[in-house]
Amino acid sequence: MADYASSSHPDPDLNNVPYSILAEAYDSPATPPRERPLKVLTAVVASVVFLVSLVGLVVNLVPEKTAPHSRVRDERGVLPRGVAEGVSAKSYPTPISSDGVSSYNWTNAMLSWQRTAYHFQPEKNWMNDPNGPLYHMGWYHLFYQYNPDSATWGNITWGHAVSVDLIHWLYLPLAMVPDQHYDRKGVWTGSATILPGGEIKILYTGDDDNSIQVQNLAYPSNHSDPLLLNWTKYEANPVMVPPEGIGLSDFRDPTTAWVGPDGEWRVIVGSKINTTGIALVYHTTNFTSYELVDHVLHSVAMTGMWECIDFYPVSTNSSFGLETSMVGPDVKHVLKASIDDLTKDYYAIGTYDPVNDTWTPDDASMDVGIGLKYDYGWLYASKSFYDPVEKRRILWGWINETDTEDDDFAKGWASVQAVPREILYDDKTGTNILQQPVKEIESLRLNSTEFEDILIEAGSIVPLDIGMATQLDMFAEFEIQGIDSFKATAATESNITECIYAETRTSYGPFGLAVLADGSLSELTPIYFRVVENDDGRLKTYFCADESRSSLAPEVLHTVYGSEIPVLDGEKYTVRILVDHSIIESFAQGGRRVITSRVYPTQAIYGAARLFLFNNATGINVTASIKVWELNSAFIRPFPLDQVEH
């Protein structure tokens, strides 16, 4: 058993002292600041029937909620990068401090530390959306939006890498570059479909010579090549252009196709009508000619542009993933849209009608764009695929930067991909999906340290002596002590309806872990549960991540993320956290809620990074048990093509 209050800790006075890592003197608003936003892509002739149906759609849909504007100019009056090109924001407003300085005085050591050890990222330059993930002849393939020339968005090509285990990656030459009239301004996001005989089809959005978003077809030049090094673009591209009634820059990101009961393939393209987000459905038999269905798969008012749509089945009675064309009585369908105006990935679970090509959410109040998110932190433009080897559905997602472009230029790169996640249906709630890191991440585990039944008194912090705390995989369980007797005297706090800063003390919390903290606690990122009591005496729980003190750098994003989370009777409060230098991925209650944090410590780096347990409640004690693994670095480097026989 490890010591959690080791006398060798550099700050022994912190052991069980009144909780002070987020002192009340810290000047911050009572509610989190509005998140700064981000994203990309689009582009076939439509019938009068379809146009009429769109008009009816706009007239008849009742607005659910108003989406905040994300395409705002910074203090210099400059639009975020990408907005003028018709995609979501790819940069963030640069704040100007009172002394006119817009960037922290970063050292090379600080910037070098930010590069991750086991998350996929290119050797250098800009990356955004994951594209067309697939498995082929022993290799997992990942394509991604990439700028080979700069650490900012632009000149978008398809980068390419392969892996045998989703953890260790080998870079390959660029798969596709913007060199044709239909994609000259960018080879944007797309998806892969594998036909029954193994033939691979890629549909992707191109930004053409006239800045019109169109859909294009590509396929491997040699299907027998395990590495899929060369790709052929269909000579008659584009295969789809914006239908009548659709904006020329509001038509993008085709999905993986699936087969309907009539034997025809279906594919979805994201769009909008005014402020209504929509999923257009096309039929094809050959992937070169397409017919637009005269109604949408689904739409939601006031959600704005839907991009990077994903649509796939989940089993309600097994722990296996399903191939994309699967339907049946024990199957639900997940519809996901990346909401351009919010730069968040929203999903809903519902029922797909394969005859009429419509999808209905199980709960209209939790529809796409107004309900659940894949990730309540910093993940966007996700893409899933079916893994035929392990019979599972795997999710990729883009983690963007929240620093400035000047900072990205200084370090020479921008953005990483999240650790691939397995997706399952949550049969305990019936209203959520579950996300967990793929099991292969466990191959990186080195030594482990375990702590059992640690008492964390109200208002205290407990250091955990684990050594280096910058590459970790940890699992923690928390229990509130004497909660039944305490509830009889506790005041209700029903006014709390969202995640708030960890410094704000309430009867039941917050309690959790402070990761990437330095010894003096000048920097830290709390990952925590906040339990509040409603007027009716029932408890509800929020799962949160507080980045407000994650960095001393003033220009990076400092905010609080999170959501209410179902905690069922008999369940403890549980969380799994992956720490990889400047990335924190947190999975609560088996993955019912996930928060990805993008942080930029200046002090809590290298050997100075520490891990703490804390309980900032005013009235209850908490016990915690936690197991922590140090993680090795992944092998990510160029493929030795000179050693491959041709």
Please spell the DSSP secondary structure of 405-440, one letter per residue.
Answer: HHHHHHHTEE-EEPPPEEEEE-TTTSS-EEEEE-GG
Active site residue 129: yes
Task: Give 153-195 pLDDT, tens digit per residue.
Answer: 999 999 999 999 999 999 999 999 999 999 999 999 999 999 9
Phi/psi region, residue 293 (left: phi>0; alpha: psi -120 to 50; beta: rest), is beta
Can you give the pLDDT at residue 636?
98
**Peptide bond before residue 238 is cis, with ω within 30 degrees of 0:** yes
> Residue 492's pLDDT is what?
59
Q: What is the pLDDT of residue 28?
A: 30
Position 489 scores a pLDDT of 52
Max intra-chain CA distance, the chain: 77
Find the catalytic residue in 3, 13, 99, 129.
Answer: 129
Extended beta strands in 551-621, E state: 560-565, 573-580, 583-588, 593-598, 610-615
Q: 592: which 2 tokens?
A: 């019912």
Cα 414 to the center of its chain, rounded Å: 16
Do 171 and 640 touch, CB atoms closer than 8 A?
A: no
Which pLDDT belongs to residue 94? 60
Q: What pLDDT does residue 646 have?
A: 54
d(CA 394, CA 120): 15
- Look at the pTM and tell me if it is higher than 0.75: yes
pLDDT of residue 18: 36
Residue 80 is predicted with a pLDDT of: 74
| Residue numbers in the chain where pLDDT is lower than 50 | 1-69, 71, 96-98, 488
Tell me the backbone φ, ψ of residue 222, rounded to 5 degrees.
-145, 100
Q: CA separation (Å) from 292 to 102, 225, 228?
A: 49, 34, 31
Is 153:126 a contact under the CB 8 Å cutoff? yes
Alpha helical stretches, state H, 243-354:
none
Enumerate long-range contacts of 176-183, CB under 8 Å, 24 or more apart.
176/204, 176/218, 176/231, 176/233, 178/206, 178/207, 180/206, 180/233, 180/237, 181/208, 181/209, 182/206, 182/208, 182/209, 182/214, 182/216, 182/237, 182/238, 183/207, 183/208, 183/216, 183/233, 183/237
